[in-house]
Amino acid sequence: MAAMPAVGSGPQAGPIVPPQQGGPTVPPPPIGPNGPGVPPYTPAGYGYPSHPGPQGYPGAQGYPGYPQPPAYGWPGAPMGPAPQNNAGTAALVLGILSIVLFCLYGVVSLILGVVAVILGVQGRRRADRGEATNRGQAQAGFVLGIIGIIVGVATLALFIGILVFAANKEDSRQDDDPFGSSYNSAPQIPASPRL
């Protein structure tokens, strides 16, 4: 087994020269137009910031007259007019609220549903006359208002039914004797008929 050479023995540290093989040598790469070792150009705002470059050479320069990117959206496409049907938008919002707020005993849902139906009809009429642009919102508010009315009436009927049932159950318990036969486990003797 070969031993490792001791520190300090052998050739001294210096530039390592690869062994030469018999054949043509490869020339070094050519110098770039901006000088040797200059990093490639990166536009401002993208990637890492560029450093100034080696001594005697300027850093990365921007291209003069470079056009700015276009704004967001499809270039040249006209924007449609904004919806001008406030009644349709209000009908949609109130219709959604009438469905969501049914848990408040149905009263709020019933009131908001009726208002949503009225505003939905007004919004659809405006859209049919050409005065508004969002007939779909008005139609959705109308439909959601009807659903809100149905849910509100059902919740209100359920609540009233529970109150009536509880009141009748209370009335039937007041007639019972608190120490009646249900608490007495002793057998009762039938009463004899009197002559």
Q: What is the pLDDT of residue 169?
A: 80
Residues 75 and 67: their CA atoms lie apart, in Å, by 15
**Which is more confidently placed, 69 or 16?**
16
Residues 95 and 149: their CA atoms lie apart, in Å, by 9
29-37's contacts with Cβ under 8 Å and 24+ in sequence apart are 34/58
Q: What is the pLDDT of residue 90?
A: 95
Q: What is the pLDDT of residue 115?
A: 96
| Contact status, residue 84 vs residue 132, Cβ threshold 8 Å | yes
Q: What is the pLDDT of residue 17?
A: 60
**Which is more confidently placed, 22 or 131?**
131
The CA-atom distances, in angstroms, between 13 and each of 2, 3, 10, 194 are: 22, 20, 9, 137
**Residue 105 clears pLDDT 90, i.e. is over it:** no
Q: What is the pLDDT of residue 192?
A: 75
**Which is more confidently placed, 155 or 2?**
155
Question: Which residues touch 87 (CB under 8 Å, ≥6 apart)?
Answer: 119, 120, 122, 123, 126, 132, 138
- Give per-residue pLDDT as tens, 154-174: 999 999 999 999 888 866 655
Give 106's pLDDT tier (boundaries 50, 70, 90). confident
Query: Looking at residues 169-193, what average pLDDT do you find?
Result: 62
| Contact status, residue 134 vs residue 91, Cβ threshold 8 Å | no
Give 142's pLDDT tier (boundaries 50, 70, 90). very high
Take residue 82 and report the two structure tokens written for it: 């904004």
Give 153's pLDDT tier (boundaries 50, 70, 90). very high
**Residue 64 clears pLDDT 70, i.e. is over it:** no
**Residue 1 clears pLDDT 90, i.e. is over it:** no
- State the maximum Cα–Cα separation within the chain, in Å, rounded to a whole number: 148
Q: In sequence order, what DSSP letters do the residues of 9-75 get, joined into one string?
A: -SSPS----PPP-SSPPPPPPPPPTT-TTPPPP--TTSSSPPP--STTS----PPTTPPPPPPSS-T
